[in-house]
Structure 1
Amino acid sequence: MKTLKIAIQKSGRLNEKSVELLKNCGLSFENYKSSLISPVSNFPLEILFLRDDDIPEYVQDGIADLGIVGENVICETEVEVAYLQRLGFGKCTLKLAIPNKGDIQALADLNGKAIATSYPVILGKFLKDNNVEAEIRTISGSVEISPGLGLADAICDIVSTGGTLKSNGLKPFGDVLSSEAVLIGRKGEEEDPLIQELIQRIQSVLRAKETKYVVLNAERKNVDEIKTLLPGIKSPTVVPLAEEGWVAIHTVIPEKDFWSRINQLKAAGAQGIVVMPIEKIIL
């Protein structure tokens, strides 16, 4: 039987979440912290642990069938790969940032300035699209210290919380690219049965993270009104209780919908509301 290969970060901000996702898909593997390759014992899959910059090219060239990597890396390396599934973690923004004290007020003020970045390809496209002519200075690390050292007038870097910018006397100036972790594959091989099975597992885990299993009690006369407030996967399950005229209503709903409707449910007669996490949802 064919064995798939999936490449994920060896270390970095996406490593732990990628490992967690694969384990939640029911995949069993060990020693991933001490090895570059880890076989999965209960699915035809090998996990490759690589530098994030290498993952897109490994997938493009067919060395790996799949990869988990940030969109920013894909855009910077300009590879040809298929986007198979957005994963909802590793969200960040590639931003322009400028010194708190300076004369830059608008994008046009960057003309003739020097901008330090680890993402020259993405930044170059952004500047071209906005008709800005600035010098791009490529720096592999610690981009945020460049203005303080006189190496650049502004920076373009990944920002998650903004704490690093603030500690270096910088402030966000503009968004260049929004990014999150994505599952990628080699173009033309998206319909491979094993790949589709793994995608199905991943999707079931992602759905479960966004939804809750809800059980509540209500008088039978209030069921119709309560059902209109519970947009489940299909329709709620209604089970009679031992007490005459009362039922238990079971459903699965998006967590964001539940919290916006809880007062409406209580007003409609819902009682004893229990909210539980879900491990997987398979459609």
Structure 2
Amino acid sequence: MKQLKIAVQKSGRLNEESLKILKDCGISIDNGREQLKAPAKNFPLEIYYLRNGDIPQYLKDGVVDCAIIGENLLVESGDNIVVKEKLGFSKCRVSLAVSKFFEYDSIQDLNGKRIATSYPVTTNKFLTEKGITADLHIINGSVEIAPNIGLADAICDIVSSGSTLFKNNLKEVEVILKSEAVLAASPKISEDVNELLEKLLFRIKSVLKGRENRYVLLNTPNDKIEAITKVLPGMKSPTILPLAKEGWSSMHSVVNQEAFWDVIEELKAIGAEGILVCPIEKMIV
């Protein structure tokens, strides 16, 4: 029986969030401690626990069929690897940073300077596009210490909250790219295994859609239904049910998480009452 081989980060935050989305897709993994691979109990899938930096090569070689991986790694070393879906977690950016004492006005200030990075391809492409010539020092890990020990004038590295830069007396000066976790497919995936990947992708999209939205129930006077319908379009239109109280109805709909509080405030201003908000586990459209 064919199995879908999926790679995830061996440890760390990306590992935890990757396993969570698979769990939310209804996939149960037998993942004991220190296992390098483990089967799913209820889906034709086998999960591989790999070093983050090794995953692009495993995808290229067809050792794994797909992976949950940071988009930044694909930009750096993921030629011919197809991104099937952006997953919305583990968001970060690849940025240039300099010492807080460095007088930085523009990217031109890095011309002829030394830049330490674990992302030489990404860094060099950005500098070339900007017409900047710099001396790149490739470092694996602890890049942020380079300016403090005189190894480099600047760094190019992953930034999440910026706290690591702050602790090392660095300031972010240029954002090269923004990244998040993605589901990526091997260029060598077979047609029959790709069918399994599409089934997994269908589940993932349903979970992501649910995370992006909230289910809203409210009570409204009947003369306010038209105004509220304009605020609550829902997937097609709101569900409207009559209440036992004459002249009143209950309305059910879906609200996007990003617009949620603005919508709720508008509903209250129109006259909606008894507003209930529920999370959506999965949403199939």
- Alignment TM-score, normalising by the size of structure 1: 0.96
CA distance in 2, matches of 1:188, 1:146: 39
Cross-structure match for 1:215? 217
1:83 maps to 2:57: no
Q: Within 5 Å, give how 1:142-221 maps onto structure 2.
A: 142-187=142-187, 189=189, 192-221=194-223
| Secondary structure of 2:200's aligned partner | helix
CA contact (8 A) 1:230 1:253 kept: yes
Q: For residues 50 and 113 of structure 1, what CA distance do their matches in structure 2 show?
A: 35
Indicate the SS of the match to 1:221.
helix
Q: Secondary structure at the match of 1:148?
A: helix
**CA deviation after TM superposition for structure 1 residue 181, in Å:** 0.6
Equivalent residues in 2 for 1:93-132, closer than 5 Å? 93-132=93-132
| Whole-Å separation in 1 of the counterparts to 2:188 and 2:11 | 29
CA distance in 1, matches of 2:87, 2:5: 18
Shift, 1:104, TM fit: 3.8
More divergent stretch after superposition (62-71 vs 27-36):
27-36
**What SS is found at the alignment partner of 2:149?**
coil
Segments of 4+ in structure 1 off by > 6 A? none
What CA RMSD, in Å, does the superposition of the two structures yield over aligned residues? 1.5
Deviations 1:97-151 (A, max 9, x none): 1111124432112111100011111101111111111100011111111111000
Q: Which has the higher helix share?
A: 2
Pick from 263, 269, 272 the counterpart of residue 270 of structure 1.
Answer: 272
| Aligned residue number for residue 48 of structure 1 | 48
CA distance, structure 2, for counterparts of residue 103 and residue 264 of structure 1? 47
The alignment partner of 2:98 has SS state of: strand
Opposite residue 262 of structure 1, the aligned amino acid is I
Distance 1:70 1:263 in 2: 36
Instruction: Return the alpha-carbon distance in structure 2 between the equivalents of residues 279 and 102 of structure 1.
Output: 48
CA shift, 1:5, in A, is: 0.5
Query: Which stretch shifts more, 65-74 or 263-272?
Result: 263-272
Alpha-carbon distance, 1:79 to partner: 2.5
Q: What amino acid is the match of 1:167?
A: K
Q: Secondary structure at the match of 2:220?
A: strand
Could you give the per-residue CA deviations for residues 242-271 of structure 1, whole angstroms, max 9, x where no partner exists? 111211111112122231122221122210
C-alpha distance in 1 between matches for 2:190 and 2:281: 26
After superposing the two structures, state which structure 1 stretch, 192-201 or 127-136, moved more: 192-201
- Name the amino acid aligned to 1:101: F
- Residues 1:241 and 2:243 aligned together: yes
Q: What TM-score does the superposition give when structure 2 sets the normalisation length?
A: 0.95
Which whole-Å CA distance do the structure 1 matches of 2:105 and 2:88 have between them?
33
Instruction: Report the count of equivalent residues.
Output: 283
Residues 57-105 of structure 1: per-residue CA shift (max 9 Å, x gap)? 2122211111010111111114311110000011111111111112443
Q: d(CA) in 2 for partners of 1:90 and 1:164?
A: 16
Equivalent pair of 1:92/1:159 in contact (CA under 8 Å): yes
